[in-house]
């Protein structure tokens, strides 16, 4: 087994909090007002912006899948992309929904999956982040995202982005109402090659300053000596662009981890099931640890 060390320096956790500027808030609400009442992006026949699995699951964890789907609302056509481009990793996390479905069943865990492509709006970004509606991604230009006006952006945010995050908040609150402090596991997959670099890691375990889950999970996964595990690779939990963990886990001191499973390992149903079983077994042991299903005091104080 190879361990690859964390790639990013430790930074002050407070610098990672998502802060929406006053200017962006004003722009957003101005656009919402402009669009007038009743205008919607989604129409009958479009998928739901989120899917909830096993809402009453017994496991003390909520699984999240920000990049589960490559669906595009009918009103946006195909964003100017052919089917091959819409099937690439730029549009979604290939295999992530499949892994999350299996993982939820294996753990008996509640889960929320996003309903639309990250090219429509990326649910793991602040809605005003420059990469929330990418005009170019991994060398592919996205014609339908060029020159988006505030109204068009606001429609995507209102109909696709907030419903997902409200569903996440609601589900976590439901679990918490049972007297459980749920851990948060964000399930992602990553492309095996990025900018001509072949990623050696089978799975990346990303964490921020709260390493409770990451340390335990890496130790569990490392029982399999054939696994190449990335500790804060190929991305880092300290990267400033994330939103979901930063919003739904860190401010409340909930134990958390973000997984990046390599897409070539989970792009078949068989592969997804295999990895869900592997990760599920490890996570079950992690979740049984007394240190996980509780909030850290310092961070709760910080959020109050
Ligand atoms: Zn992802």
CA of 188 to the centre of ligand 1 (A): 4
CA of 66 to the centre of ligand 1 (A): 6
Q: Is residue 237 part of a domain?
A: yes
Give the N- to C-terminal CA distance of the chain in Å, as an integer.
42
Euclidean distance between CA atoms 212 and 251, whole angstroms: 15
CA of 35 to the centre of ligand 1 (A): 30
Q: Which residues of 181-192 are buried (b: 16+ CB within 10 A; e: fewer)?
A: bbbbbbbbbbbb
The pTM (predicted TM-score) of the whole model is 0.86
pLDDT for the residue 213: 98
CA of 34 to the centre of ligand 1 (A): 32
Q: Which residues of 1-13 are buried (b: 16+ CB within 10 A; e: fewer)?
A: eeeeebeeeeeeb
Environment of ion ligand 1 (residues, CB < 5 A): 67, 93, 188
CA of 65 to the centre of ligand 1 (A): 8
Q: Is residue 32 part of a domain?
A: no
CA of 246 to the centre of ligand 1 (A): 14
Q: Is residue 156 part of a domain?
A: yes
Nearest Cα neighbor of 209 from 62, 61, 14 is 14
The dihedral through the CA atoms of 37, 43, 46, 52 has a sign that is positive
Locate 80 and state its tokens: 């100017």
Euclidean distance between CA atoms 78 and 87, whole angstroms: 11
Q: Is residue 27 part of a domain?
A: no
Residue with tokens 């991604």: 137
CATH code, domain carrying 148: 3.40.630.40
β-pairing verdict for 256-262 and 203-206: antiparallel
CA of 43 to the centre of ligand 1 (A): 26
Q: Is residue 124 part of a domain?
A: yes
Q: Is residue 16 part of a domain?
A: no
Q: Is residue 199 part of a domain?
A: yes
CA of 37 to the centre of ligand 1 (A): 33
Task: Look up the domain containing 255 and give its range.
Answer: 2-8+41-303
Q: Is residue 26 part of a domain?
A: no
CA of 36 to the centre of ligand 1 (A): 33
pLDDT for the residue 23: 40
pLDDT for the residue 297: 57
pLDDT for the residue 25: 41
CA of 153 to the centre of ligand 1 (A): 21
pLDDT for the residue 292: 93
pLDDT for the residue 195: 87
CA of 68 to the centre of ligand 1 (A): 8
CA of 262 to the centre of ligand 1 (A): 11
CA of 228 to the centre of ligand 1 (A): 19
CA of 30 to the centre of ligand 1 (A): 30
Q: What total number of domains does the chain contain?
A: 1
* Sites in the chain below the pLDDT cut of 70: 1-37, 297-304
CA of 93 to the centre of ligand 1 (A): 5
């Amino acid at each position: 087994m190879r361990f690859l060390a964390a790639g990013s320096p430790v930074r002050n956790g407070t610098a990672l909090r998502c802060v929406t500027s006053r200017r962006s808030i004003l722009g957003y609400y101005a656009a919402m007002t402009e669009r007038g009442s009743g205008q919607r992006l989604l129409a009958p026949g479009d998928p739901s912006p989120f899917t909830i699995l096993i809402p009453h699951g017994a496991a003390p964890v909520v699984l999240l899948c920000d990049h589960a789907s490559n669906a595009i609302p009918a009103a946006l056509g195909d964003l100017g992309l052919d089917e091959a481009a819409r099937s690439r990793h730029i549009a979604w996390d290939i295999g992530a929904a499949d892994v999350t479905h299996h993982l939820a069943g294996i753990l008996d865990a509640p889960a929320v999956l996003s309903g639309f492509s990250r090219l429509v709006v990326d649910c793991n970004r602040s809605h005003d982040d420059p990469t929330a509606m990418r005009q170019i991604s991994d060398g592919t230009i996205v014609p339908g995202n060029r020159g988006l006006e505030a109204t068009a952006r606001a429609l995507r945010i209102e109909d696709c982005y907030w419903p997902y995050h409200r569903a996440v908040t609601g589900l976590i609150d439901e679990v918490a109402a049972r007297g459980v402090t749920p851990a948060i596991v964000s399930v992602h997959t990553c492309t095996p090659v990025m900018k001509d670099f072949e990623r050696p890691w089978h799975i990346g375990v990303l964490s921020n300053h709260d390493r409770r889950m990451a340390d335990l999970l890496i130790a569990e996964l490392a029982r399999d000596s054939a696994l190449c595990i990335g500790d804060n690779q190929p991305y880092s939990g300290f990267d400033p662009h994330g939103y979901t963990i930063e919003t739904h886990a860190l401010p409340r001191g909930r134990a958390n981890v973000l997984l990046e499973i390599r897409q070539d390992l989970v792009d078949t149903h068989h592969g997804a099931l295999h990895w869900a079983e592997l990760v599920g077994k490890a996570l079950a042991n992690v979740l049984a640890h007394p240190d996980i299903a509780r909030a850290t005091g310092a961070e709760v104080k910080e959020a109050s």
